[in-house]
Amino acid sequence: MNDQQTPKDDRHAVVIGAGIVGTCCALYLQRAGLAVTLIDRDGPGEAASFGNAGALGLASVPPLGMPDTLWKAPKMILDPMHPLTLRWGHLPKALPWFLHFTLASLRSRAEAIADVRADLLGRVNDSYAPLLDDAGAKDLIHNAGLLMVFESDRSRAEVEYALEMRRRRGVKIEELSGDEAREMEPALGPLIKRGVFFPQVSQTVSPLRLTQTLAQHFQNRGGMLRRETVKGFDFGPDGPKGVVTDTGQHDADIMVLAAGVWSKFLARQLGTRVLLEAERGYHTVLPNPGVDIRVPLVSEDRHVTFGPMEDGLRLTSMAEFAAIEAAPDYARAERIFAAARELIPGLDAEGATEWVGSRPSTPDSIPVIGPSPRFANVLFAFGHGHLGLTLAAVTGRIVADLAQGRRPETDLNPLRPDRF
């Protein structure tokens, strides 16, 4: 959309958080004609949006909580190196979240959640396209597909329900033998016995550069980007009329809370309690992996993903429930590398870097998108868990619709902030 086509709207919107979600919200609000200020205490895309696996996960219909998650839970809790873990000291605080997670994992709920996710996922490409086109950033995302690999018929059988859940919602799936998987990705070693390919999944070559490029485009179009820490809201007789930061105040007609996992603290200041946990994930980037990986991979047996990116091969894994500020446990990142090398012999760790970040996760694997229950001029846009990169542009479009008083195409009821 060029400037001649931009509608006029005299209102000022402030977006809190310049992760991929907040940045897409800011761009969509700007395209709707509002004057927009985007605030982050750091640079754009430097928190969770920095270190993710880079997939636009169009096949990620199944939620984290599935019926079999419940019977796998004891192993998860007892094994400190399991890919899904909980730091015990954090349990009392996280208990309400886990109770909701348990209910959300029941079969009927998981199916209903999969419907919501499938609906959102169906809007991903159309929502990103105008942002990437306008920013000249189409080269940052490419349709690479995703190859899921298995070391036994048993591990393949364990995902049958999750595959079937996808199939019933139109996700394209190609079944492969071990040799066919190796033909698709010759770097795979002999351990691989089966494969499943998801051709619709796309991949970014750099999650950080994607957010930075979109944020730069936002500024080029006249948007204000501020490096400040939001402390709270300026309340008038009718509710919040601006945000207060460490250096001043920004008056606003509309406020968007897109501060990732930290959103829960600001939501609380608005009188809303949301169930949001830091589901921490680790990555290791191998700048010179020594092996050329063509296709993004995920190992079901070892819970490791391999994402070829412009700065090297990114290995990601682990869902660790812990306090946001808890010290990283980099033994986990080292374990990712050890597991990866068993699948791809010859991987080279020279110069590897490690990172930990917090997925902002709700117990039902559905983001929180919609007006604050108390104040209609504050829109919530957080809680995207494993799908923040994927659903950022969809979220931006919904937020802009709401800001303009338009009914979004998506049913917002399952996403509403007061559902917990």
Ligand X SMILES: Cc1cc2nc3c(=O)[nH]c(=O)nc-3n(C[C@H](O)[C@H](O)[C@H](O)COP(=O)(O)OP(=O)(O)OC[C@H]3O[C@@H](n4cnc5c(N)ncnc54)[C@H](O)[C@@H]3O)c2cc1C
Q: Which residues bind ligand X (CB under 6 A)?
A: 16-22, 39-42, 46-49, 51-55, 57, 229-230, 258-260, 262, 281, 283, 316, 357, 359-360, 382, 384-390
Q: Which helix (H) or strand (E) holds 249?
A: strand 249-251
Q: Which is nearer to ligand X, 193 or 375 (CB)?
A: 375
Place of tokens 């919040």: 240
Range 76-115 burial, b when 16+ CB lie within 10 A, else e: eeeeeebbbbbeeebeeebeebbebbeebbeeebbeebbe
Residue 230 contacts by C-beta under 8 Å, 6 or more apart in sequence?
Answer: 16, 39, 41, 243, 244, 245, 259, 266
Closer residue to ligand X, CB minimum distance, 19 or 417: 19
Min dist CB 94 to ligand X, Å, is: 17
**Between 231 and 273, whose beta carbon lies closer to ligand X?**
231
Q: In angstroms, give the least distance from the CB of 149 to ligand X.
A: 17
DSSP letters of 75-144? Answer: HHHH-TTSSEEE-GGGHHHHHHHHHHHHHHTSHHHHHHHHHHHHHHHTTHHHHHHHHHHHHT-GGGEE--
Could you give phi then psi for residue 369, rounded to 5 degrees? -135, 120
- What is d(CA 178, CA 190) in angstroms, rounded to the nearest whole number? 8
Min dist CB 351 to ligand X, Å, is: 20
Q: Which is nearer to ligand X, 223 or 281 (CB)?
A: 281
Say how many C-beta atoms besides its own lie within 10 A of residue 161's C-beta. Answer: 15
The smaller minimum CB distance to ligand X, of residues 177 and 219, is found at 219
Query: Of 193 and 282, which CB lies nearer to ligand X in the complex structure?
Result: 282
Shortest reach from residue 44's CB to ligand X, in Å: 7
How many Å separate Cα 369 from the centre of its chain? 14
Residue 42 or 153 with smaller CB distance to ligand X: 42
Distance CA 234, CA 64 (A): 37
Q: How far is the CB of 402 from ligand X (least distance, A)?
A: 17
**Least Å from the CB of residue 279 to ligand X:** 7
- Residue closer to ligand X (CB basis): 128 or 193: 128
Quickly count: other Cβ atoms within 10 Å of residue 170's Cβ.
11
Query: Residue 299 to residues 48, 111, 138, 213: CA-CA distances in angstroms?
Result: 22, 24, 28, 31
CB of 47 to ligand X, least distance (A): 3
Smallest gap from residue 231 Cβ to ligand X (A):
7
